Structure 1
C-alpha cells in the first residue's frame, strides 16, 4: 500500500521557496533591526502632547511614524512568513510571537498621535499647510483621520485599545494554529486505490475525482475534524466577532459592519446592494447545478458532486513552471512594464510554491514597501493552481506598481480595491484560454466550467459567506451566543438557499463555516464579490484592446490607497454606488452558461 507524505520544510527545493533574505539575512538580523525600531519609537514618544503645537512638530511626527511603520512592516512580515512557512517549527512560531508582541506594545505607545491630530483646530491646520509645504504629502491621510473624529477616543483609551490589540485579535491566531497545524484529516483512497494523507492543499484532487466513492470519502474525511471540534471553532469565531462588536461600540459605531466600512468611506448600501442583486440572480446558479446534475446523470446530486469537471479530470494540467509561463503569456495584454514586474516576481523567488508539512494552507500575497511583495501558494498541477498564481500575482503587481508611484502611507490599496486587481487577472486568464483552445470542444467545456466555477465561488459563494457573517455579527450584537448549533443552523439555511433544489445536503454543516479563515478578517468576504464584478467590467475593455481602458487600469494599479476606493474605481470606469456593474457581471456569467450548455447539448 503506497503512502505519500508531505515533505518537511528543510527538504523543499530552494527554488520553490521564497527568499526571505530579501528582507533579512537571518532571524538575528531581524531581531537586531526590531530593537532599533523600538529605540526609534521611544524617540517618537517625546512628541506626545506636542504634535499640534506647530507645523514643524506635526511634520516631524508624521515622518517619524512613516519610517517606524516602514521598518515594522519589514520586520513583521519576515516573522509572519517564517511562521507560515512551517507552523510546527517552534523557533519560527516564537519569532513571530516576539514581533507580534512588540507590534502590540508599539501600537499602544504611538496611539497618542491620532487623538492629537483630531484635536488640531481646522483653521490652525490650514495655517500649517500654508507654512509647511511638506505636509501636503500627508493631507489625504490627515483628512481620513479627522473624518473619524467621532470614533477616535482619548489618548489613554487609545493606548489601552492599542495595548489590548493582541489579546483582542487572539482568536485569529488560535484559529490559524488550529486549522493549519493541529487538524489531521487522516488517510483517504486515491483514484488508484492507494491510501494517502488528505491535506488542505490536495483536497481538490480528491473532491474533483470522477470516482464518486473517492470524492465522497475525501469530503467526509475533510469535514470530520471540523465537526469533532465544532464547539472550539464556534468559540473562536464567537470570540472574534464579540471583540469586533465591542470595539465598534466603544468607538461609537452603530454596528461592527459600520465600523469595518467607515475607514474607507464605503457606504453600507454597497454591501446591501450586493446581497440583493445576488439573491435576484440565484436562478442562474441554480440552473448551473441543475445542468451538471442532468449531464452527470446523478440523482440525488450531492454537495460533494458539484466540483467534478464535466469535461473530465485534470484537463490542462500545468506544472509550476508551465503555470508561470501561461500567466506571463496571458497577462502580456497589460503591457511590457507589467510583464517585467511579473518576471521579477518569478525569477527573484518572491513565491513560496510547494506544500510542506506545517505550511499555512491556501494562498495569499503580502507586500513590503521597502522590499517587494511575497506570495504563498500550495501548488498542485491542476489548472486551478495557475488561476491562484494569476490571482495572487494580481495582488503582487498592484503592490509593485503602487509602491513605485505612491509614498508608503498610500502604497497599500484597501482590500476593496486589492481584490479587483487579483480577480481581473483571473478574468484575463479565462479569455486567454478560451481563445487559445477555441477549436477544442472538450478544452472549451473545461475552461468555461473553470470560469463558471470561479464566478460561482467568488460572487455567489462569497456573498453567501457575507450574508452569514453579517447575520452572525448582528446576532452577537443582539446578545445571541454563537454556539455551534446556532452557526450550523444559520449556515445550513443559507447553503440550501444558494445551492438550490438540484443539490442535496451531505455531511456536516459545520465545515462550510468553520474552515473559512476570512471570517477572522472582519467584513472581508463581500469584497471578493464586489471586486470580481468590477474586474469583469474592467478586464473586458482591456482584453478587447481598448487603449483607454488599459490606460485607466494602469492608473488604477498605481493609485494604491491615495483616494477613497469608490472614487478610484469611478476614475477607472466603474461606479460601485449602483447595481449596474453587478448586472453587467451577471450578463457575462449568463453568456458563459449559455455557451457551455450549447456545447454540452451539441
Structure 2
C-alpha cells in the first residue's frame, strides 16, 4: 500500500507557525464581552439620529463616535474572521464568526442614518460648521468623498433597509468560501516518488511543477474534477452574487456595477478599458513565452498542465519559512532600516499564520487592525513561490503598518487600487535582489527569470483575462442572461484560448478556469492586480536604482493610506494612471527579461 500524507489538524501545528490572536483577545468570551460594549456604544450613537445636521458639534460628535465604533468593531470582527479562517471545520470558530458577522450587519443598519444626514447638509451650512469647529478638519476628505457620492446615497429608511439586508446580499461569498475551502475534496494523487498524497489548494503547485509529466497531468485533472462535479452549484452561486451587485448598483442609480465599484474612489472606467486594450495589444509577448517554453521542453503538443514545469530543471531556491523570512528581509533592506524594523515586528511577534492545516482557508491574504497590527495568512510550501507570497503580503502589512502610524483610523486603510501597489512592489524588489545575487549562475538565473515571467503573466495577463471575464459576466447578467455553467464555461474558455495563444492546447474542463477564483466575489477587484503590478514596476525600479527622492516618495505613498483619491496619491509618487504610459513601461521591463531568458535558454 502506498504511503499517504495527511494534513495536520489545527491543534497539531506549532505555535510559532500560527498567528497570535491574543494580540486581539485572549478568548472568544473576551471578544464577545467587547462586542457587547460596542453594541452599547451604538445604542448611544443612534440618539443622534435626526440631529447630525443641526450643529457643528453634533456633526463632530457623530463622526468621532462612528470612528470609535468602527475601530472597536474592526478588532472584534477581524478576530472572529481569523478564528474562522484558521479552521473552517471548527464549529466553535464558525459560530463566533457568525455572531460577529450578524452583529456587524445589525449595527450597520442602526448606524445607516449617518450618511444620508451628512449628504443632506447644504454646502453653505457645512462650510459654516467647518469654520466654527476646527476639529472637523480631520474629517475634511472623508466628508468630501462621501458628499461626492450624494447622487447615490439613498434615503434614511432605504439605507437602513439595505444595510440590514447586506448579510443576505453577501451570502453568496460566504457560501462560495465554505464550498471551496471546507467541502471540496481533490482526492489523492501520486507524487514524484510514486506515493499517494492528498491534493489540496496549498500543495497543488508542487505537483503542477513536477518534471514528470504524468504527475502534473494527474494532479491537474484531479484538481479540476470537483469543480466539474459541482459546476452548476458554483454557477448559481456566482450568478446570485453578480445579481446582488447589479441590483445594488441599480438602486443606487449607477449605470453598472463596474461604475459603482470604481466611482467611490474617483477612478474613471477608462482606466479599466485602457488596461484591457493595452494587455491585448501586448498578447504577442505572452504567446512568445509559451512558444519558447514549448520549444525548450521539446513538446509536439503543450497542454495547460505543462505550463508550470520549471525550465531550469529541479526546483531551485527552496526555502523553509525561516529562510524565506530572512530572504525577504535581505531583499527589502534596500528600503532602509525603518522598513526592515517593521518587518522584524511582523516576523518576531507571530503576525503570520504560515502552516497549512485541515480546514484552513486556502491562498493568502493580509488583514489589519488599526489599534493592534496587521495579520497575514499563508499556506507555506518550501518553494520560492511561498517566499514571493510572503514578500507580497508583507507589502500589504507594511502599508497598513506605516499608514496606521501616520493617519487617523478613517484614512489608515488604503483602497485596493493602492494596496496592491505595495504588495507587488515587494515582489519586484525580491526579483531584482535575486537576479543580482545569482547573476553569474546561469541555471538559477533561468529559474528566477521564469518565476518573474510566470508572476508577470499571472498578475498582468491573467488578472486582465479575469477582468474581461468578470465584465462580460456582469454585462450579460445585467442584460437578463442567467449565468449558467455552460455560459460561463464558454466565455471563460474563449478568453483562456485568446490569452494563452496557439502554442497551448486545452485539456480537462473549462469550469475550473472560473470556478476556483475567490476574487470574483469581491466585485471588480481583479483588474487592480494588473494596474498595480504595472505601477509598482515603475516605482520599484526607481527605488532599486536609487533615483533621487525615490525612497522618500515611496514612504510618502505608504504613509498616505487612503487620505486622498488613489489617482492623486499615485501622481504624488510620480505615476499617472490616467494614461497608458505606466503600462508601456511595465511591458518594456517584461520584454527585456523575456529577451534575457530567451538568450540564456537558446545558448
TM-score (norm 2): 1.00
Question: What residue in structure 2 maps to residue 549 of structure 1?
Answer: 550
SS at 2:92's partner residue? helix
Q: Does 1:566 find its partner at 2:567?
A: yes
CA deviation map 1:462-507 (0-9, x unaligned): 0000000000000000000000000000000000000000000000
Q: Does 1:117 find its partner at 2:114?
A: no
Structure-2 separation of matches of 1:447 and 1:595 = 11
CA deviation map 1:414-441 (0-9, x unaligned): 0000000000000000000000000100
CA deviation map 1:345-375 (0-9, x unaligned): 0000000000000000000000000100000
Q: Does 1:253 find its partner at 2:245?
A: no
Number of aligned residue pairs = 602
Structure-2 separation of matches of 1:344 and 1:8 = 27
Pairwise CA distance, 1:318: 0.4
Structure-2 separation of matches of 1:541 and 1:347 = 30
Structure-1 separation of matches of 2:314 and 2:35 = 49
Structure-2 separation of matches of 1:108 and 1:431 = 48
Question: What residue in structure 2 maps to residue 392 of structure 1?
Answer: 393
Structure-2 separation of matches of 1:274 and 1:201 = 30
Structure-2 separation of matches of 1:516 and 1:313 = 29
Q: Does 1:179 find its partner at 2:180?
A: yes
Contact 1:112 1:158 in 2 (8 A): yes
Q: Does 1:588 find its partner at 2:589?
A: yes
Structure-2 separation of matches of 1:340 and 1:198 = 37
SS at 2:167's partner residue? helix
Question: What residue in structure 1 maps to residue 28 of structure 2?
Answer: 27
Q: How does 1:179-578 map to 2 (within 5 A)?
A: 179-578=180-579
Pairwise CA distance, 1:314: 1.3
Contact 1:226 1:511 in 2 (8 A): yes
Question: What residue in structure 2 maps to residue 71 of structure 1?
Answer: 72
Structure-2 separation of matches of 1:161 and 1:178 = 26
Question: What residue in structure 2 maps to residue 128 of structure 1?
Answer: 129
Structure 1 residues not aligned, in runs of 5+: none
Q: Does 1:47 find its partner at 2:48?
A: yes
SS at 1:299's partner residue? coil
Pairwise CA distance, 1:312: 1.3
Question: What residue in structure 2 maps to residue 17 of structure 1?
Answer: 18
Structure-1 separation of matches of 2:94 and 2:75 = 17
Structure-1 separation of matches of 2:573 and 2:325 = 28
Structure-1 separation of matches of 2:382 and 2:88 = 24
Structure-1 separation of matches of 2:489 and 2:534 = 29
SS at 1:249's partner residue? helix
Q: Does 1:154 find its partner at 2:155?
A: yes
Question: What residue in structure 2 maps to residue 145 of structure 1?
Answer: 146
Question: What residue in structure 2 maps to residue 98 of structure 1?
Answer: 99
Structure-2 separation of matches of 1:43 and 1:85 = 34
Structure-2 separation of matches of 1:68 and 1:263 = 22
Structure-2 separation of matches of 1:397 and 1:234 = 37
Pairwise CA distance, 1:229: 0.2
Pairwise CA distance, 1:546: 1.6
Pairwise CA distance, 1:53: 0.2
Pairwise CA distance, 1:262: 0.8
Structure-2 separation of matches of 1:345 and 1:62 = 31
Structure-2 separation of matches of 1:299 and 1:349 = 49
CA deviation map 1:71-101 (0-9, x unaligned): 0000000000000000000000010000000
Structure 2 residues not aligned, in runs of 5+: none
Structure-1 separation of matches of 2:58 and 2:548 = 46
Runs of at least 4 residues off by over 6 Å:
none
CA deviation map 1:233-257 (0-9, x unaligned): 0011000000000000000000000
Root-mean-square deviation (CA, aligned residues, Å) is 0.4
Pairwise CA distance, 1:547: 3.6
Structure-1 separation of matches of 2:335 and 2:547 = 11
Contact 1:208 1:313 in 2 (8 A): no
Structure-2 separation of matches of 1:312 and 1:352 = 30
Structure-2 separation of matches of 1:312 and 1:478 = 49
Pairwise CA distance, 1:545: 1.1
SS at 1:174's partner residue? helix
Pairwise CA distance, 1:299: 1.6
Structure-1 separation of matches of 2:521 and 2:548 = 40
Pairwise CA distance, 1:313: 3.0
Structure-1 separation of matches of 2:52 and 2:595 = 62
TM-score (norm 1): 1.00
